[in-house]
Chain A
Amino acid sequence: MDATAGKFASPVRSKRLTVVLGRWLGAAFVICFATGLFSHLLQDPPAWMLYPTWPAGLYQLTQGVHVAAGIAAIPLLLAKLWSVFPLLLQWPPIKSWINALERASIGLFVAASLVEVATGLLNTYKWYPWTFPFRQTHYWLAWVVVGSLALHIAVKLPVITRHWRRNGTEGKPDERDNDKHSHDESPNDGRTEDKQPAGMGRRAFLSTVTVTTAFVVLSTAGQSFAWLAPLNIFAPRRQNTGPQGVPVNRTAMEAQVAQGDIGTDWTMSVTTKNGERTFSLPQLRALPQTEHVLTVACVEGWSQSALWRGVRIKDLLAEVGAPADSELEVVSMEKNGNYRVMTMPAPYTGNDKTLLVLELNGAPLDLDHGYPARIMAPGRPGVLQTKWVQRIEVL
């Protein structure tokens, strides 16, 4: 088996290479975890949650970075695993019970990481060819990945610190031989390729990984950031497309909302402790109208800025005699869906930019964008920008 491992050996592989790749991959995983946790907390907020409403494009940034870092993690993960692959073939496969535990934890780490990035990628285009619920699984598996990362760092810390900086003896055969006899065996077999210094091979490999990672990020991040839109060739979303130049996350057909459900007699209600008041579309249009450029930023990573016009929520609340910093429950006309009922915490309700939108880019809302009325608030995930508003309740 060691002979098999030898066949897989490459002069490019070394602990230094693994440490460099591990730093990049670790950074990508930590960014994904932090931004993902932020998104999760915005959607399922604990009592202590703070709701940043400034800058208005904050969620566009964090979720765009989340997806971009996840896509960057694909080549980084493959390169990192390639750099240590011969260790998989070590013989005997298990040397002690601690070694068995470590190998089991690495197996879990690798499997969880591969599934996390693969399912995350498929979620960006809403494809779910599996039996588990995406959001919960992605969230809990993220804890397994980040916990496994910490465990892995703890186990490998001496090797990591030894190879954190480039040292002058790298690439020389004696350095690699010494590594081979050390506690943590290097996958390097000490051969050189056509007298090419291993350092040069490593630099070429790291350059390849850098270019590949940059390319996959730049060719997809245009779905999240307008300045990268000209490079967007491999992203599932395109900016400035769809009805009224804005992409749609959930269509009216998917939400089972039909134009026929919204007649000229359509009204929405606002309920307070003092009773209920209904508003027709002409009555809403007769209230003071405010417009803001706000960004729809979806958990799938895409985002789109547009000009939204409608009634400020705080003005609507003043109209029914409710305080501007009230917490609200907003109910959609959609027949089903996890976000049919949305809670709006006070920081959004009292914000000047939070609107009950009636118009998008200078025209009445398209049915797919939530006609006759939808919510837009600064810095919230798109799934909480409730469309087809039917009822607002002041809690």
Chain B
Amino acid sequence: MSPMTTVRLGVGALGAVAVGFGAYSLLTHLGLAALLGLAAWMAVALLLHDGVVVPVSTATGHGVRCAGRHLRPLSRALIRGALVLAAVCTLIVVPLVAAQQVAGNPPVNATVLQGNYALALGVFWGVLVLVAVAAVVVVERYSRRNSRQTTRS
């Protein structure tokens, strides 16, 4: 048996034992309602990711490719980067805002969820748009100037 096969079998066996341990413990420690709830969360997480997050991000990426076909690759990369950053931050901040709504006003514990997250997210988006637009403008101007100079020489 080759060293690679030995390592794969060893790591795989350890992994299978850990999965079995975790799954068995969940099944034996949680009641039926809790297990059904967990199964529902796992199914919905997969559906949301595979059915919403990836198609939307792929379509957005395709949109940037088409709409920005006259731009430099670096500019398109900057736009994609800004969109990814904005999307991930939104994904993390929206539940904070939702939890604030659930916690009520005034909340039982005033030291949790203290920020004005909706405003912070809006300001963040605004700054990100400004920075991304400025960066794209700089890249495009610099590239055009360079290409003009190259043409003259």
User: What chain A residues lie within 8 Å of B110 (beta carbons)?
Assistant: 242
Assess A216 versus B89: contact at CB under 8 Å? Given A110-B46, A140-B26, A150-B14: yes
User: What chain B residues lie within 8 Å of A105 (beta carbons)?
Assistant: 19
User: What separation, in Å, do the CA atoms of A82 and B35 have in the docked complex?
Assistant: 28
Stretch at the interface among A58-66, A171-179, A248-256, A376-384: A248-256
User: What chain A residues lie within 8 Å of B15 (beta carbons)?
Assistant: 147-154
User: What chain A residues lie within 8 Å of B41 (beta carbons)?
Assistant: 115, 118-119, 130, 132
- Out of A81, A108, A220, name the residue touching B49 (CB < 8 Å): A81
User: Contact at B46–A114, with CB atoms within 8 Å?
Assistant: yes
- Out of B26, B43, B111, name the residue touching A111 (CB < 8 Å): B43
User: Contact at B12–A133, with CB atoms within 8 Å?
Assistant: no
Q: Which residue of B lies closest to A122 (CB)?
A: B95
Assess A151 versus B111: contact at CB under 8 Å? Given A111-B42, A122-B95, A212-B84: no
User: Contact at A140–B33, with CB atoms within 8 Å?
Assistant: no
- Out of A129, A143, A212, A254, name the residue touching B18 (CB < 8 Å): A143
Interface string of A100-126 (1 = CB under 8 A from B): 000001011011101100110110011
B109 at interface by CB-CB < 8 Å: yes
A228 at interface by CB-CB < 8 Å: no
A323 at interface by CB-CB < 8 Å: no
B1 at interface by CB-CB < 8 Å: no
Number of interface residues of B (CB under 8 A): 69
User: What chain B residues lie within 8 Å of A280 (beta carbons)?
Assistant: none
Assess A125 versus B38: contact at CB under 8 Å? Given A114-B49, A233-B120: no
User: Contact at A237–B124, with CB atoms within 8 Å?
Assistant: no
User: What chain A residues lie within 8 Å of B93 (beta carbons)?
Assistant: 234
User: What chain A residues lie within 8 Å of B95 (beta carbons)?
Assistant: 121-122, 127
Decide if the interface of chain B is mainly helix, strand, loop or mixed.
Answer: helix
B85 at interface by CB-CB < 8 Å: yes
User: Contact at B89–A154, with CB atoms within 8 Å?
Assistant: no
B96 at interface by CB-CB < 8 Å: yes
User: Contact at B46–A208, with CB atoms within 8 Å?
Assistant: no
A351 at interface by CB-CB < 8 Å: no
B113 at interface by CB-CB < 8 Å: yes
User: What chain A residues lie within 8 Å of B99 (beta carbons)?
Assistant: 122, 125, 127, 236
Q: Which residue of B lies closest to A220 (CB)?
A: B92
User: Contact at B81–A211, with CB atoms within 8 Å?
Assistant: yes
User: What chain B residues lie within 8 Å of A262 (beta carbons)?
Assistant: none
Assess A238 versus B102: contact at CB under 8 Å? Given A215-B89, A233-B120: no
CB contacts under 8 Å to A, within B80-117, are 80-81, 84-85, 88-89, 91-93, 95-96, 99, 102-103, 108-115, 117
User: What separation, in Å, do the CA atoms of A153 and B53 have in the docked complex?
Assistant: 25
User: What chain A residues lie within 8 Å of B11 (beta carbons)?
Assistant: 150-151, 153-154, 157
Number of interface residues of A (CB under 8 A): 82
User: Contact at A154–B8, with CB atoms within 8 Å?
Assistant: yes
- Out of B29, B43, B114, name the residue touching A136 (CB < 8 Å): B29
Assess A241 versus B26: contact at CB under 8 Å? Given A147-B16, A148-B15: no
B21 at interface by CB-CB < 8 Å: yes
CB contacts under 8 Å to A, within B55-80, are 57-58, 61, 65, 69, 73-74, 77, 80
User: Contact at A125–B34, with CB atoms within 8 Å?
Assistant: no
User: Contact at A211–B38, with CB atoms within 8 Å?
Assistant: no
- Out of B30, B53, B73, B120, name the residue touching A200 (CB < 8 Å): B73
Leading 3 A-B pairs by shortest Cβ distance = A147-B18, A150-B15, A143-B22
Provide a sorted-by-A list of 10 A–B residue pairs whose CB atoms are within 8 angstroms: A75-B88, A81-B49, A85-B58, A119-B41, A144-B18, A151-B16, A194-B73, A204-B74, A235-B115, A241-B111
Instruction: With A85-B50, A157-B7 given, name 8 new contacts (CB 8 A).
Output: A82-B54, A85-B54, A107-B46, A115-B41, A144-B26, A147-B20, A154-B8, A157-B8
Query: B residues touching A (Cβ–Cβ < 8 Å)?
Result: 4, 7-9, 11-12, 14-23, 25-26, 29-30, 33-38, 41-43, 45-46, 49-50, 53-54, 57-58, 61, 65, 69, 73-74, 77, 80-81, 84-85, 88-89, 91-93, 95-96, 99, 102-103, 108-115, 117, 120-121, 124
Query: A residues touching B (Cβ–Cβ < 8 Å)?
Result: 8, 10, 71, 74-75, 78, 81-82, 85, 88, 105, 107-108, 110-112, 114-115, 118-119, 121-122, 125-127, 129-133, 136-137, 140-155, 157-158, 161, 193-194, 196, 200-201, 204-205, 207-209, 211-212, 215-216, 219-220, 233-238, 241-242, 247-251, 253-254
